[in-house]
Amino acid sequence: MSATTSEPAPPAPVDGDPAPAPPRASQRRRHERTLGLRLSAPAFFVMVLVTAYPIGYAVVLSLYQYRLTDPEGRRFIGLSNYATVLTDPIWWSAVLTTAIITLASVAIELVLGFGFAWVMFRILRGRSIIRTAILVPYGIITVVSAFIWRYAFQLDSGFVNQWFGLDGFNWFGERWSSLVVITLSEIWKTTPFISLLLLAGLVQVSDEMLEAARVDGANGWQRLWKVVIPNMKAAIMVAVLFRTLDAWRIFDNPFIMTSGANGTETLSILTYRQNVTLVNLGAGSAVSVLLFASVVLIAVIFVKGFRTDLSQVRGDS
Amino acid sequence: MSGVGNRTSNWWTVWGVVILAWAMFPLLWMVSLAFKSPATLRSSAGSFFPSDWTWENFRTVFSDELFTSALRNSFGISILATLISVVIAMFAAYAIARLDFPGKKLLLSMALAIAMFPQAALVGPLFNMWRGLGIYDTWIGLIIPYLTFALPLSIWTMSAFFRQIPWEMEQAAQVDGATPWQAFRRVIIPLAAPGVFTTAILTFFFCWNEFLLAASLTSTNRARTVPAALSFFTGASQFESPVTAVMAASVVVTIPVVILVLVFQRKIVAGLTSGSVKG
């Protein structure tokens, strides 16, 4: 499995007649079904074990008034928690904050990440240095990245104000400027994720096709849009979908930088605060379920919009 | 090489240097802060580099059990969770990409739901379950949710890779009489290795980075990982700014990252540039 050799494997041993008869074909089909079930069983089992109960538990709890500090007061209140949350400006402020961070970071990262992937793909000298360097922000702990950027902008330790002549401006004193720093840290940290996935797609685009397009007189821009991007759609789809979902649940960066102060509370921080800090499990679970629903909505838009179906595999290309 | 080719190649090098600076500049800032003296931090604020370099911050963090045990926990938990997750995900991704079997849609929906589920929502229930099972504040208590939440990304990434593999080779092996399992082991694994290595890196960094569950499902040095420990770190004393000590700890936990990146990087480059996929 750890083989890095790339020569094609020798043909598998022949175990009988070369032209399978119909009965053998159906036997093979049965074998395939069994193998498919066996191969996916461990993943399925683990995912059900760790999430089915907590998910169900959160849905049930969201229908109760329930604080851990007041267990006796637990009672069924139907959908009231949802009404409370959805009429609370704190919820909508968190939605707006999260949406701003998500849109800004994913849009910038996609462009930047494609550029990085393209440079890593094309560069002749120092290619491995670049590829190594770009992996470091990705590998760095998000909490560390958050501290680095926070200390760069913070009044008592930072250099940014000095360098840009912003004497004594408190970046974490206002909503917009806090969001700028949070988004900067997010972009620095996660662009390598996108660029690595895009690079993986990029190397799969065949040189022959690019050469054919070049011979046909397509310029660089046309080759990019007509040949490269259509041929790496799967990689782009996976990268953008996961980065969007990831950004929508952003927690570490704003938690370390502002703890949600000055209107920078994201949906995950709100959920964490309700469940863990305030142990208001009823309303907290409603927030969790709503957060989950918002994420489902985003995913549906993506899958319908991009028309990508991971399960549609055999014979589709 | 022609003049035009040279000029183009130089431009790529320039862009490469830009990327290098982009990636390294915040790290330089981290190192610089880590060597500043906590006593003079405020008075020297605004200058990028320390006026006098000191190892004081590193002595502070290494004399703190909170930090040293967190290093141990982070390594053990991340490596174990990655190994288990990648093996499980590889089987599932192959089945999804190649095999026709009932339950495929269900598995994909399940993976998608878990990839999307806000982990903050699971913190409360997991806390109760883990205490009941006696695995709260243990390695296994973090390994189980880590490998679970790494699975969807691993499955999706690997099945995207697997879809782009020239499957005619596998079909040829099957026509020659190989079973699907033989075709998988002999033909596909060598072709899929680059995708698997890339996935392993993504999975490891997910575990290494994870903060929310680590902060919620641990309470002592037994299992607390580096991100959680850093957020609790307050410095040598309450009278000193924790800034420089936090950055010293950050430098220490970034050194293993850099080393691992160097090791894995060779695998990725070998895998992605071997041309094994271009049939």
Report, as an integer, the average pLDDT of B222-249: 82
Which residue in B261, B263, B267 has the most chain A C-beta atoms within 10 A of its own C-beta, making it the best mutation to test that interface? B261
Question: Which residue in B192, B196, B174, B191 sits closest to B183, CA to CA?
Answer: B174
Q: What gap in Å lies between CA A259 and CA A254, rounded to an integer? A: 6
Token look-up 């739901």 returns B113
Report, as an integer, the average pLDDT of A232-260: 85
Spell out the domains of chain B, with CATH numbers in brackets. Answer: 65-232 (1.10.3720.10)
Residue A225 tokens, joined: 């849009």
Q: What gap in Å lies between CA B33 and CA B67, rounded to an integer? A: 18
CB contact under 8 A, B101 and A53: no
Set of chain A residues whose Cβ sits within 8 Å of the Cβ of B180: 28, 31-32, 35
Confidence of residue B239 (pLDDT cuts 50, 70, 90): low
pLDDT of A225 over the 90 cut: no
Q: How large is the ipTM?
A: 0.81
Q: What gap in Å lies between CA A249 and CA B119, rounded to an integer? A: 8
State the DSSP code for A196. H
Torsion of Cα atoms, B135 then B138 then B142 then B148, to 10°: -40
Residue B79, pLDDT score: 92
Contact with chain A for residue B182, Cβ under 8 A: yes
Cα distances (angstroms) measured from residue A2 to each of A243, B7, B80, B186, B194? 29, 39, 17, 13, 10
Confidence of residue A92 (pLDDT cuts 50, 70, 90): very high
Which chain A residue is nearest to residue B143, measuring alpha carbons? A50
pLDDT digits (tens, 9 = 90+) for B123-180: 767 877 787 899 999 999 999 999 998 888 788 777 777 777 787 777 788 888 888 8
CA distance to partner chain B, nearest, from residue A53 (Å): 8
Range of A285-289, B109-113, B245-249 with top mean pLDDT: B245-249
pLDDT mean across residues, chain A: 82
Report, as an integer, the average pLDDT of B102-122: 79
Contact with chain A for residue B132, Cβ under 8 A: no
Amino acid identity for residue B229 in this structure: A
Q: Name the residue ranges covered by the structural domains of chain A.
A: 88-265
Contact with chain A for residue B39, Cβ under 8 A: no
pLDDT of B74 over the 90 cut: yes
State the DSSP code for A173. G
Range of A14-28, A108-122, B236-250 with top mean pLDDT: A108-122
Residue A51, pLDDT score: 80
Residue B266, pLDDT score: 63
Q: Which of A44, A284, A313 sits opposite B97 (nearest CB)?
A: A313
CATH homologous superfamily for A88-265? MetI-like (1.10.3720.10)
